[in-house]
Amino acid sequence: MSDQYTEQDPTTQHDQPTDAEQIPHPGLTGEMEHEPDHGEDTYRGSGRLQGRRAVITGGDSGIGRAVAIAFAREGADIVVSALEEEQEDAAQTARLVREAGRTAVVCLGDLTREEQCATLIERAVEELGGIDVLVNNAAFQMAQPGGILDITTEQFDRVMKTNLYAMFWLCKNAVPHLRPGSAIINTSSIQARQPSGELLDYATTKAGIVAFTQGLAGQLAEQGIRVNSVAPGPIWTPLIPATTGEDKVESFGDQTPLGRAGQPAELAPAYVFLASQESSYVTGEVLGVTGGMPLT
């Protein structure tokens, strides 16, 4: 077998992360022993999003950073949304967007507050001149090995507000600014179909995101606005060592048919596809990037 095909073997093309030490929440990329691959050295654009204007929540690191890099290299200008404590990572994402020759705007704030969601959309309209793509990617999870008995009302509320309320508020504020041909992409999860007991609240929100995506897609179809979702499997991001026990981190991704965790760079092409005209006849769909784990 040639080296070319060896490098493309999906079971081995990325090393399996081995970090066992947890990092403080929300988790910064620089705190990780084994930093994720966001496509910094590999993603090559071809103008599929030329002149588009995108808002990416949770754009500071992980999947959000990989999507921002890919969108910028495809020709899009980006507003990166992140928490105040994620400013360092958000600045790094913005630098990578600017290195691709595109505009980058960083908007820091807590999306569990309705007014911050409205501010984010206003900033995008003011500084980019409009919105063509909204990527609802920000999420909160905190694994609780004891299941429902260990999930506090405070945690449940935070998960719901971050994962569901913010998506609702952002879409509600963005839709009046979206033109025919615009796209909304919501990040759901394999957890929507294969929920883990220790992520009960998180899985509940991810199933809600699927229903919201499909319902909103039907509502906005006649306006020419497409709404889809990407459902990741186990993806190596700062959220994992920041919210998961050491024993789970060591074996993270082992359960997939491909036998490893995915990298954010492996998610970005799915978002590019759903944001571009290549998917012009696709709406209300959930695109799984799960390492072979079925969504049914």
Q: Which two tokens stand for residue 59?
A: 């754009």
φ/ψ of 142, rounded to 5, equals: -150, 110
Strand partners, 183: 133, 226
Say whether pLDDT at 1 is over 80: no
Task: State pLDDT tens for residues 26-65.
Answer: 677 777 777 889 999 999 999 999 999 999 999 999 999 9
The whole-number pLDDT of residue 2 equals 44
What integer is the mean pLDDT of 210-220?
98
Residue of higher predicted confidence among 136 and 24: 136
Tell me which residue of 166, 141, 197 sits closest to 57, measured CA to CA: 166
Residues 163, 170 contacting (CB under 8 angstroms) = no
What does CATH list as the number for 46-289? 3.40.50.720
Task: State pLDDT tens for residues 216-228.
Answer: 999 999 999 999 9
Taken in order 218, 286, 43, 127, the sign of the CA dihedral is: positive
Q: Which two tokens stand for residue 91?
A: 């600045």
Active-site positions? 202
The whole-number pLDDT of residue 18 equals 60
The overall average pLDDT reported for the chain is 92
Say whether pLDDT at 6 is over 60: no
CA dist., res. 202 & res. 167, Å (int): 14
Using a 10 angstrom Cβ sphere, with 0-12 exposed, 13-18 middle and 19 or more buried, the burial of residue 158 is: middle
Task: State pLDDT tens for residues 64-90.
Answer: 999 999 999 999 999 999 999 999 999
φ/ψ of 226, rounded to 5, equals: -95, 145
Say whether pLDDT at 291 is over 70: yes
Query: How would you classify residue 149: left for phi > 0, otherwise alpha for psi between -120 and 50, otherwise beta?
Result: alpha
Locate tokens 């084994």: which residue?
Answer: 34
What integer is the mean pLDDT of 163-169?
98
Task: State pLDDT tens for residues 247-266.
Answer: 667 678 778 999 999 999 99
Answering whether pTM is above 0.85, one says yes
The whole-number pLDDT of residue 19 equals 54
Which of 141-155, 177-191, 236-250, 281-295 is predicted with the least confidence, judged by mean pLDDT? 236-250
The whole-number pLDDT of residue 211 equals 98
The whole-number pLDDT of residue 238 equals 77
